[in-house]
A = this chain, B = another copy of it.
């Protein structure tokens, strides 16, 4: 029995500036069925308070403690290890790091920096990595559904470029890092085996959640979904559904999807 449902935000609850039709009601239905909801987002173009404001403006009743972003985990890591951040992130995200100590050895933190990704900023990061700074990825997503309805490059491609230059591997704090999923699940006191994921990214959301032990993972055809995604990464989704509404219908029905997968 699924007790906790993890939901990706961009591409699942909204697309660009528009709410996914029926998503507000679907989320309410999940809650009234007694299940807990946690939102997991790798979006790192905005600080969390801006994400919360957008969700509220679109009509979603979600509390800050139900929303997990990679930034909190990275801030915790910085304090624990005594590192100071060298940021290659979106300018809007910089405020989240404003409280950081600036006297420690530098760690290179890469998020979805968008227009801040330039040859100069990438090369500056590379040279710090060359000198031994650790490489921290807020996300490794390859692409995302942009405001103009087309796919655009996401942080993962630029993380990959830096990994390729240095031969080092970035430490990842967002999806599909298992720790990220487990921290969100643990906050609900459910176990991974009592949890399901709903997402539009077959790699970061779906394969990531299943690898972290989630019992089920629903790939939605909204957001960045493209035909063929359902078999592109392993483990594959429990089911591929039209949108969050159909995923919630499965989750709140008495039918066990795992026993009788839809054809």
Contact = CB atoms under 8 A, between A and B. Distances in A.
Interface of A: 113-120, 122-123, 126-127, 130, 142-143, 150-153, 156-158, 160-162, 164-165, 167, 232
B115 A153 contact: no
A119 B117 contact: yes
Contacts of A161: 153, 157-158, 160-161
Contact of A127 (B142, B150, B162, B167): B150
**Which DSSP category, helix, strand, loop or mixed, fits chain A's interface?**
helix
B116 A153 contact: no
Contacts of A114: 119
Nearest to A152: B123
A189 to B, nearest CB: 37
Contacts of A115: 118-120
Contacts of A167: 232
Contact of A165 (B118, B126, B153): B153
A12 to B, nearest CB: 21
Contacts of A127: 150-152
Contacts of A158: 161
Contacts of A116: 119
Of A117, A143, A153, A158, the most chain B CB neighbours within 10 A belong to: A153
A119 B164 contact: no
19 contacts: A113-B119, A114-B119, A115-B120, A117-B118, A117-B122, A119-B153, A122-B153, A122-B157, A126-B153, A127-B150, A127-B152, A142-B164, A142-B165, A153-B161, A156-B164, A158-B161, A160-B161, A161-B161, A167-B232
A5 B209 CA distance: 54
Contacts of A160: 160-161, 164
Given A117-B118, A118-B117, A119-B114, A157 B152 contact: no
